[in-house]
C-alpha cells in the first residue's frame, strides 16, 4: 500500500475506464449506490443534503449493512486485456461507511465470468483507509480481462482505477492487416513529453475522436526557448509505419502550425530521450484547425522498423489524436 499523497502509476493508463470500454457487469448488492459509479471518469463528489428513497445519495458503489456472514463483490470487464501495475481503491467521501478491507481477483476470459470461472488473487485481503486514495500494487504480471473487487464485510467504494499496460489481442487481426501501432488498446503508451499544461498526453492515443478541446494533448503558450513541443510514444510492437492520421479536432485558435514524425528502435525495456538518434518518418507538414489530416505518400521510412515514435509539434498548441498504421515485424 502506498501513502495517500503519492500517485505511483501516473505513467500507466486506466484499463477499466469507460473510454476504453470498461464495464461493471454485476455485484452482490448495490442497495445504496450503483455499481456503475465505480468507473465514472469524474472525481467523486459529496452533496451534503442529497438523499434518495433508499438513504443518503453517494457517488460510488455502496452496499447495505451486512447482517449475515460474508462479503460484497463487484465484477468488472476491463476495456482491453492487459498487465496491471497497480490500483487506486478510492474511498473518497465514504467516512463512516467504507469497507474495512478489500481484495481483488482476476481472470482471462472471452465471455462474462460465471460460477465456473477460476479466479486468481492479484491483491490479497488488506486494510483500506476511509475517504482516501488507497494505491495498491498488483501481485501478478499475468494478462487479465476481468476483475472481481471484494469488499469486506460491506460498505462503499467511490472509484476503482486499474493502472496498467494494454496487451494487443492478435487474434482480432486478419493476416496482413495493418495495425494502429500508436493505439492505447493495442498496447501503445506515451512515455514522455515536453509539456502537457492543459491536458494529458495520454489523450493523444485514446479511442474515437476527441469529444472537446480538453480531450487531446495541449501544451501551454511558449514564449521563446525550444523550437517545438514534442511527445514520445512507445508503440504497441516493433513495426513499420505506412500511413498516419493527425487530428486537430476542436483545436481552432490553438492548433499547431505544423508537425513532423520521427522513429527509433530501442532494446526491450529501454526508452529513448528527446535527443536520441531519431530517424525521419514524415518531414514537417502544415496543419489546419479542427480537422483530420491524412498522410501516406509523405511517409519516407520505407521498411525501417521502430519501437518508439516522436511527434514534434511546431511551435506549441493542441492535437487531439494520432494514428500510426503499419505492420508488426515478424517475431
11-64 pLDDT, tens digit each: 899 999 999 999 999 999 999 999 999 999 999 999 999 999 999 999 999 999
Extended strands (E) in 153-187: 156-157, 159-166, 179-180
pLDDT over 60 at 3, yes or no: no
Cell 494505491 belongs to residue: 135
Residue with cell 457487469: 25
Instruction: Give how far the C-alpha of residue 266 lies from the chain's centroid of Cα atoms, to the nearest Å.
Output: 23
Cell of 144: 487479465
CB of 66 within 8 A of CB of 72?
yes
CA distances 67 to 116, 291, 326, Å, are 27, 58, 57
In the DSSP assignment, the letter for residue 58 is -
Please determine whether the domains at 13-166 and 170-328 fall in the same fold group of CATH. yes
Which is it for strands 306-314 and 229-247: parallel, antiparallel or unpaired? antiparallel
Instruction: Return all residues near 180 (Cβ < 8 A) that are at least 6 apart.
Output: 186, 188, 236, 323, 324, 325
Model confidence at 4, pLDDT cuts 50, 70, 90, reads low
Percent of the chain with pLDDT over 90: 93
Across the range 193-198, mean pLDDT stands at: 95
Count Cβ atoms below 10 Å from residue 229 Cβ, excluding itself: 26
pLDDT at position 6, please?
A: 74
Domain boundaries, the chain: 13-166, 170-328
Query: What's the confidence (pLDDT) of residue 135?
Result: 97
Q: Cell numbers at residue 296, please?
A: 501516406
What is each CA distance from 92 to 19, 67, 320, in whole angstroms?
22, 24, 31
Question: Distance of CA 74 to CAs 30, 37, 160, 182, Å?
Answer: 9, 11, 11, 32
Task: Give residue-wise pLDDT tens across range 69-117.
Answer: 999 999 999 999 999 999 999 999 999 999 999 999 999 999 999 999 9
- Cβ(185)–Cβ(195) under 8 Å? no
The pLDDT, as a whole number, for residue 5 is: 58
pLDDT-derived band of residue 263, with 50, 70 and 90 as boundaries?
Answer: very high
Question: What one-character DSSP code corresponds to residue 199?
Answer: B
Q: Residue 230: beta bridge partners? A: 312
Taking 90 as the threshold, does the pLDDT of residue 2 lie above it? no
Give me the torsion for CA of 181, 182, 187, 189, rounded to 10°. Answer: 150
Contact (CB, 8 A) for 308 and 190: no
Would you state the pLDDT for residue 226?
86
Best CATH choice for the domain 13-166 from the list 3.40.640.10, 2.60.120.260, 2.40.33.20, 3.40.50.720: 2.60.120.260
The CATH number corresponding to 170-328 among 2.60.120.260, 3.40.50.300, 3.40.190.10, 3.30.1600.10 equals 2.60.120.260
Kindly state the greatest CA–CA separation across the chain.
Answer: 68
SS3 label, residue 202: helix
Mean of all residue pLDDT scores within the chain: 96
User: How far apart are alpha carbons 195 and 176 in whole angstroms?
Assistant: 37
How confident is residue 10, by pLDDT bands cut at 50, 70 and 90? confident
Half-sphere exposure of 12 (CA within 13 A, CB side): 22
Looking at residue 211, its pLDDT comes to 96
As a whole number of angstroms, the distance between CA 185 and CA 16 comes to 11
Would the pLDDT of 330 be above 70? Answer: yes
Name which of 34, 151, 158, 27 is nearest 100 in CA terms.
151
Q: Say which range, 97-101, 222-226, 326-330, has the weakest mean pLDDT.
A: 222-226
Amino acid at each position: 500500500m502506498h501513502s495517500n499523497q503519492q500517485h505511483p502509476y501516473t505513467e500507466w493508463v486506466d484499463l477499466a475506464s469507460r473510454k476504453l470500454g470498461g464495464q461493471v457487469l454485476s455485484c452482490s448488492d448495490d442497495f445504496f449506490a450503483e455499481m456503475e459509479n465505480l468507473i465514472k471518469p469524474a472525481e467523486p463528489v459529496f452533496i451534503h443534503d442529497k438523499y434518495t428513497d433508499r438513504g443518503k445519495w453517494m457517488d460510488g458503489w455502496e452496499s447495505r449493512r451486512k447482517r449475515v456472514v460474508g462479503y460484497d463483490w463487484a465484477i468488472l470487464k476491463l476495456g482491453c486485456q492487459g498487465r496491471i501495475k497497480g490500483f487506486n481503491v478510492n474511498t473518497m467521501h465514504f467516512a463512516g461507511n467504507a469497507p474495512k478491507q478489500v481484495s481483488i481477483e482476476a481472470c482471462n476470459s472471452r465471455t462474462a465470468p460465471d460460477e465456473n470461472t477460476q479466479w486468481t488473487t492479484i491483491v490479497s485481503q488488506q486494510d483500506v483507509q476511509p475517504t482516501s486514495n488507497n494505491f495498491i500494487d498488483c501481485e501478478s504480471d499475468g494478462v487479465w480481462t476481468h476483475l472481481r473487487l471484494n469488499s469486506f464485510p460491506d460498505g462503499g467504494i467511490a472509484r476503482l482505477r486499474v493502472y496498467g499496460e494494454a496487451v494487443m489481442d492478435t487474434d482480432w487481426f486478419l493476416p496482413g492487416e495493418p495495425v494502429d501501432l500508436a493505439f492505447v488498446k493495442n498496447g501503445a503508451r506515451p512515455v514522455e513529453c515536453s509539456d502537457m499544461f492543459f491536458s494529458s498526453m495520454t489523450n493523444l492515443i485514446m479511442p474515437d475522436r476527441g469529444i472537446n478541446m480538453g480531450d487531446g494533448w495541449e501544451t501551454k503558450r511558449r514564449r521563446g526557448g525550444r523550437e517545438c513541443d514534442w511527445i514520445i510514444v512507445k508503440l504497441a510492437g516493433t513495426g513499420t509505419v505506412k500511413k498516419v492520421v493527425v487530428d486537430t479536432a476542436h483545436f481552432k485558435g490553438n492548433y499547431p502550425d505544423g508537425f513532423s514524425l520521427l522513429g527509433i528502435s530501442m532494446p526491450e525495456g529501454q526508452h529513448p530521450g528527446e535527443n536520441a538518434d531519431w530517424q525521419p518518418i514524415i518531414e514537417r507538414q502544415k496543419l489546419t484547425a479542427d480537422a483530420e489530416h491524412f498522410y501516406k505518400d509523405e511517409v519516407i521510412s520505407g521498411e525501417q522498423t521502430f519501437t518508439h515514435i516522436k511527434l514534434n509539434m511546431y511551435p506549441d498548441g493542441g492535437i487531439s489524436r494520432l494514428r500510426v498504421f503499419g505492420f508488426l515485424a515478424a517475431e
